[in-house]
Structure 1
Amino acid sequence: MGRILCIDYGKSRIGLALSDPMQIIASPLKTIDSHNVEEAILLIQKEVIKNEVELIAVGLPIALSGNSTAQTEEVKCFISQLKNGTSVPIVEVDERLSSVEAIRTLHKKGIKTGHNKGEIDKTAAAIILQTYLDTKNFNPNL
């Protein structure tokens, strides 16, 4: 079984998280700059190869109402570009409230989040991935 890489895409930064080889536990990996999308995709490709990733999960920001937003369309555009840059399958994962949960998690650990947006992004990616893993392991048909 290969690992799953999760991406929390934002206009300034991309949070990355990685599963363990058994696809049970998600851990924050790193944050990369997203101002240059082509360069960001190259960095993601390096992580895919280095970590033997077999699937990429991308957090899709959806409004609490379930509707798409302008940010949803931005992420879909990024996913389209990412698909052109990798042969690894990509799945979209609902990321509603992941950043809020990431901030709560970091505060519980005593980590200040005011100037530490990168920590929030990679923690949010880990939360998105853990939710996906829990759902996938409960329903193996995903």
Structure 2
Amino acid sequence: MRVAGFDPGLRRIGVALSVDGAGFPLAVISRVAGWQDHIRNIVAEYNVEMAVVGVPLSLAGAETESTRMARRFIEELQPLFGTPIVEVDERFSSRGVERALGEAGVSTRDQRGRVDDLAAADILQRYLDGLRDA
């Protein structure tokens, strides 16, 4: 089953796809009018059957404004999928990607636009790993 992972932000949405049990970055979509059409095209082109969305919680596991924003994104995304969308705790996914890119020598300027799809791949991979461990 093809699964898409999403890292929703205020300005951009990171998108990743599962391939042979691994999450791979696919795209970064600007959060402007019509973003749903871009995702609809990805769902159709890649035969995506299921979605996972990163939902950030506070360090204590409580909801934040970012949590509520991610859940609103899920509500807007749900009509594109016939199955419920799975929430994945995404604490530290973007920060972890930024740290890894920095350690790899990628400048902060060059990281822009790459963090979102890599974070989506990390979120998707966490979900896929959880399936294997279950």
By the TM > 0.5 criterion, same fold?
Answer: yes
Aligned residues: 134
Deviation string for 1:46-84 (max 9, x for gaps)? 111111111100100111110000111111111111113
Determine the structure 2 residue equivalent to 1:17. 16
> 1:46 aligned to 2:41?
yes
The question of whether the paired residues in 2 share the 8 Å contact of 1:26 and 1:130 is answered with yes
Over the aligned positions, Cα root-mean-square deviation in angstroms equals 1.4
Q: 2-side partners of 1:63 and 1:96: how far apart? A: 8
Moved over 4 A (4+): none
Deviation at 1:105, TM superposition (A): 2.2
Q: 5 Å matches for 1:8-87?
A: 8-20=7-19, 22=20, 24-36=21-33, 39-87=34-82
Structure 1 portions without partners, runs of 5+: none
Structure 2 portions without partners, runs of 5+: none
Q: 1-side partners of 2:124 and 2:49: how far apart? A: 14
Letter in 2 for 1:6: G
Aligned residues with identical type, % of pairs: 38
Match of 2:122 among 105, 121, 127: 127
Q: 1-side partners of 2:85 and 2:45: how far apart? A: 17
Letter in 2 for 1:5: A
Normalised to the residue count of structure 2, the TM-score between the two structures is 0.92
